[in-house]
Amino acid sequence: MIYIALSVFCSVIVAVLLKLAKRYEISIIQAVTVNYFTALTLCFFLFKPEVSLLSESAPWPIYIALAILLPSIFLVLAASVKKLGIVKTDIAQRLSLFIPILAAYFIFKEGFNQYKLIGLGLGFLAILLTFIRKSDQEKKSNNWIYPIVVFIGFGVIDVLFKQIALYKSLPYTTSIFTVFAMAFVVSIAIVAYLVVTRKTKLQLVNLACGLILGCFNFGNILFYMKAHKALSENPSTVFAAMNLGVIVVGSLVGILVFKEKLSKLNYVGIILALVAVVFITLSQNAVR
């Protein structure tokens, strides 16, 4: 369980760093670019990807889609944390698991049981309750669109990564390395454009923040994979503990550390989100 705890810790720290970015005037896109370089480097030394196995038959369209989506959704994630806080953003990210579940039903023709249906229903209700705004000023804003994009974006990314996992001709770690490398190139292109058009300036503080962000972002992936390896006979335990852990710890950090204000309905939404993840986990056990 130590790997799960470390993965949860790294995931929440990423959200905290994004929350602090505005306070210290960090350029998110520059930090994200360095983040992918850091993750790419760590992936190379720790996973030893077999790049020589890459060929024209590799799932390049999926790699390209992920290379574009990853930095893009990361920027939206940062905006969501900035505008709506850690609590609502973490819940949106974790409940995005419902999109690959729906994809499994409509695309991969997997069956649904009663637990999965209940979990989906509670999950969507949790989303509605969690994102209800408190004041008239908040209701007039369009900030709610950020967690919605996070919800959809991470769901699509999860589906694409699952498709890569099904491609048995290449080790999964090689695919991850390739995606990180391409995402890094896309991020560099964005930064280069912003620098040339003088919309941003390169600063060392962004480099430092990106290195830290990259370490924790990669740590989240590394420990999550190690948890699945250590508990290979109980993947649903890893799945539930990870998602529940991030929702609970993220909510506590947002409320206690950053004093994020939530309504009673928002708290009900958090509880429903936890229950929804439990039912999804039960549905996985039922299938087995």
pLDDT tens-place string over residues 134-164: 654 455 567 888 999 999 999 899 889 888 8
Q: What is the pLDDT of residues 253-272, one digit of tens each?
A: 999 999 998 889 989 999 99
Compute the distance between CA of residue 219 and CA of residue 222 in angstroms, rounded to an integer. 5
Average pLDDT over residues 222-248: 82
Compute the distance between CA of residue 24 and CA of residue 200 in angstroms, rounded to an integer. 15
- Please write down the HEC assignment for all residues of the chain: CHHHHHHHHHHHHHHHHHHHHCCCCCCHHHHHHHHHHHHHHHHHHHHCCCHHHCCCCCCHHHHHHHHHHHHHHHHHHHHHHHHHCHHHHHHHHHHCCHHHHHHHHHCCCCCCCHHHHHHHHHHHHHHHHHCCCCCHHHHHCCCCHHHHHHHHHHHHHHHHHHHHHHCCCCCHHHHHHHHHHHHHHHHHHHHHHHHHCCCCCCCHHHHHHHHHHHHHHHHHHHHHHHHHHHCCCCHHHHHHHHHHHHHHHHHHHHHHHCCCCCCHHHHHHHHHHHHHHHHHHHHHHHHC
Q: Which of 40, 1, 5 is nearest to 231 (CA)?
A: 1
What is the distance, to the nearest Å, from the Cα of residue 187 to the centroid of all Cα atoms in its chain? Answer: 17
Q: What is the pLDDT of residues 175-233, one digit of tens each?
A: 999 999 999 999 999 999 999 998 888 888 999 999 999 999 999 989 988 887 887 77
